Structure 1
Amino acid sequence: MANISISRRTVLTALAGAGAAALVGCDAARRRTAAPAVAVPDPLLVELEGGLGVLRGAGRQTIPRSLATADGRAIYGTAAAGADTAFFRVDTATGHASRRVALPGRWTPQAVSADGTLVALTADEVGVTEGRPGGRAVTPVLIADAGGVRQRLELPGNFVPEAFTDDRGGLFVLEWLPPAAPDRYRVRVVDLATTAPGPLSTRAKVPVPPGAEEEMRGDGRQAVLAPDRTTLYTLYTHQDDHRHTRDLVSGRPGNVHAFVHTLNLVERWAYCVDLPHPFGAGPASCHTTAVTPDGRRLFVADVASGTVAEISAQELTVRRTATVASGAGLAHSAADHDRLFVGAGPTVRTVDLARLGVAAEWPVPERVTGLVLSRDGARLYVGQPGAVSWHDPATGAELGRAAVTGLVGLRGLAGTA
């Protein structure tokens, strides 16, 4: 769900030659000639300039062209091995890397199953929320686990893997249209037994009829997995004149500017929760979403307008909205049972979920690049360029700070649950 934001494709070539142990050794050698690194209380998944990384105590580990599991316990990494790809799994609690297996050709991990056992890889690094792929008539996809290749697909068209079905028998993908010069996309599911892409079902568990599949042109801003790992929520903005499947089936006009695409990984249906104005009217980067630990509520914040919306995960409806403090900059969020934390620019705000109003606000030295709550709720980690600090969530008081060279953002918690 630890909830890991999936808003970036993942993640030093130092690993290519000698594995994770060599990288840790190099870090230790550097520390002998530099100031001691500050220990981070909780293991963190971070995005570094060199790829996905783990902060574990005073240690730092970077893994290139990689992808973390939903629970943050492992990272699947890749490295060039001649004309092939070395593929391995890293235990984020210990830093131990599994035996490397060779994948024929060059591959990058794009999606990992909710149970953390299967990985879908493609030849490029364009992820679901990272722009559009180049034109192509066929998309090769490799399905692998820690033991090696399990299946190779040759999908006719232009596809980007998004997630596995809960039973690992299907792969949700974005199909970009037209394949040679893509400008829009739709969500489909590939049956791994037949290798055939097909439409999803509606929320009523009825297959979407021909011609009624939604085609989207906007920005996939951010994706979060529900804590029980059965539902994937993706926030989309700038969907001018977009029509949902329900509108296409009924003949109703559609014109929404932002919505949450809800993908049920168990029953293979999708449903879009429309967000009211002003969501989607401002920059996509000012929007952020977070789910509560019990999975019952999803919150979307637009810092440009200062608007927050609460969505019921059971009803898939917007229950209420409120206008809180506005801001500017790339937005990030995290939630517990009672509070929503929103960071943008050099400011962090706490929104009280009972009244949906700002309860606290505090500055940080530099712009926020990510927010992560510790599992016990005692620390709120705030990413900033080149550093991570941790704060008392109730007061904002800084409890500690560690310099992290090349830190781009915080991704979630690592290690054991």
Structure 2
Amino acid sequence: MKRRELFGLGGVVLLASCGSAGKPRPVEPGELLAVAVSDGLTVVESGTGRRIVAPAATLATADRRRLVSTVAESGTSRVVTRDARTGDLVTQTTVRGAGRLAAVAPDAGLVALVDGDPDGRLETTIIVAGPAGERHRLKLPGFVQPEAFSSGGTSLFVLDMLPPEHPDHYRVRVLDLAAGQVNALNLPGENAGVKVLVPEGAEEEMRGEGRQAVFDPKRERLFTLYSHQPDHLHVRDLLHPETGARDGKPEVHPFVHTLNVADAWAVCVDLPSSFGTGAVEGLTIAQHNDEVWVADAGKGVLAVINADALAVIHEQAFQPVTGRARLAVSGSAAYLAAGRQVQVFDVGAKTVRATWALPGDARGVAVSGTQVYVGQPDGVHRLDPSTGATTATVSVPGLTAVEGVIG
């Protein structure tokens, strides 16, 4: 067997690859990484580059432990769920029609598929399936796009695209699966647990760009970063225009939309005015413990949000850098990869403590307890979290982004 075949995909560089007797050391599989490549999402071994699952148009659960994809077969769609750590088949079921995968529940117990013109439509068919097969098939008026399941799986949060023929904005609503009815969200904190719908005419309509999202399973909240919102009004402004939170702040563009998937309410957290006026690719978000971190790499600004109070608790300037940005936070450090560098922030002080140079433009970043992984064109670099020194490089042809470490 050739050495290249032993390494799976080849192109692996391992430091100190020989033992004291001069014999090659066995190649360790290393940690598993979820990565996006030119033909979809896959999982690779960080030490060898071997693919655990074949790339496909796939959605991962919030913890990245399950991967869900669809296979079109003669007028039907086969929904396949695999274990991300082994590639083993977990469940599969078949539904009628050529639906596109749109949303997956945190435990992969439910998936939502959508049928209709992806660019504009007057009618939408949504199919919800579980391991035993189809559970709901709903034909709804307008252009409705599934976004996330409620924590109990009885509802589906959707984007109501407006106008449906040629949408340029949207609002978040909730679809009652049993009733087949699309409703407004609830008002947060109303009447000690009594759910009150947002009144008609007070629903937020968004024109976001460059959206990224992170899910907090502890609080059952989805944090979504929206940018370029000069004409946006929050629910609080629409209900109370005389005391609106944006009085005197017309310059605010981006915000973090916080969706509670248990109680179906949403709150928007404004970001500092310096955010969102540059390239969308420089905006990125990550969540860690009780904080949500948002960075605008192109403008060189960081904001930290308290995940309970839903308010910005810290702002920090840093050296701007141009390029597609990704942020990962773990332990005592946060890593912002953009352009040809990684900026390392101290989680406690929230200031930059190191800057590491990269040979090529960053394509995502992920961190485990002992390693930092940064995507590069056609490969992943493993970095020492203390010094930023490259300890290994693995080839991943067609890599577009490192998405995260599989726990």
TM-score band, normalised by shorter chain:
0.7 to 0.9
1:157 aligns with 2:157: no
Unaligned runs of 5+ in 2: 13-26, 191-195
Would you say the 8 A contact 1:237–1:258 is kept in 2?
yes
- What is residue 198 of structure 1 aligned with on the other side? 183
Provide the alpha-carbon RMSD of the alignment: 2.1
Cα deviation digits, residues 101-121 of structure 1 (max 9, x gap): 322111221111122211111
1:108 aligns with 2:100: yes
Equivalents in 1 of 2:231, 2:393: separation in Å? 46
- What is residue 271 of structure 2 aligned with on the other side? 275
- What is residue 304 of structure 2 aligned with on the other side? 310
State the AA in 2 paired with 1:356.
Answer: K
Alpha-carbon deviation of 1:277?
A: 1.2
Q: 1:370 aligns with which of 364, 371, 376?
A: 364
Alpha-carbon deviation of 1:91?
A: 1.1
- What is residue 20 of structure 2 aligned with on the other side? none
1:168 aligns with 2:127: no
Equivalents in 2 of 1:380, 1:282: separation in Å? 27
State the AA in 1 paired with 2:286.
Answer: A
1:237 aligns with 2:222: no
- What is residue 328 of structure 1 aligned with on the other side? 322
1:43 aligns with 2:35: no
Equivalents in 1 of 2:307, 2:90: separation in Å? 37
1:210 aligns with 2:200: yes
Equivalents in 1 of 2:235, 2:54: separation in Å? 42
Unaligned runs of 5+ in 1: 1-27, 126-132
- What is residue 264 of structure 1 aligned with on the other side? 260
Alpha-carbon deviation of 1:362?
A: 0.7
Equivalents in 1 of 2:256, 2:375: separation in Å? 25
Larger radius of gyration: 2
- What is residue 238 of structure 2 aligned with on the other side? 248
Alpha-carbon deviation of 1:346?
A: 1.1
Alpha-carbon deviation of 1:90?
A: 1.0
Q: TM-score, normalised by structure 1?
A: 0.86
Alpha-carbon deviation of 1:203?
A: 1.9
Aligned residue for 2:30, secondary structure, equals strand
Question: What is the total number of aligned residue pairs between the two structures?
Answer: 377
- What is residue 291 of structure 2 aligned with on the other side? 297
Q: 1:142 to 1:365 in 2, by over 3 A?
A: same
Equivalents in 1 of 2:8, 2:152: separation in Å? 50
Equivalents in 2 of 1:270, 1:220: separation in Å? 19
Would you say the 8 A contact 2:4–2:10 is kept in 1?
no
Give aligned-pair identity as a percent: 40
- What is residue 186 of structure 1 aligned with on the other side? 171
Question: Which contiguous aligned blocks of 4+ residues in structure 1 show a shift greater than 6 angstroms?
Answer: 28-34
1:63 aligns with 2:59: no
Alpha-carbon deviation of 1:83?
A: 2.2
- What is residue 72 of structure 2 aligned with on the other side? 80
Which structure carries more relative contact order (alpha carbon 8 Å, separation 6+)? 1
- What is residue 343 of structure 1 aligned with on the other side? 337
Would you say the 8 A contact 2:81–2:108 is kept in 1?
no
Alpha-carbon deviation of 1:226?
A: 1.2
Q: 1:229 to 1:48 in 2, by over 3 A?
A: farther
Equivalents in 2 of 1:356, 1:257: separation in Å? 23
Would you say the 8 A contact 1:64–1:79 is kept in 2?
no
Alpha-carbon deviation of 1:379?
A: 0.4
Would you say the 8 A contact 1:65–1:79 is kept in 2?
no
Alpha-carbon deviation of 1:50?
A: 1.2
Aligned residue for 2:236, secondary structure, equals helix
- What is residue 404 of structure 2 aligned with on the other side? 412
Would you say the 8 A contact 1:50–1:62 is kept in 2?
no
- What is residue 3 of structure 1 aligned with on the other side? none
Alpha-carbon deviation of 1:153?
A: 1.4
Q: TM-score, normalised by structure 2?
A: 0.88
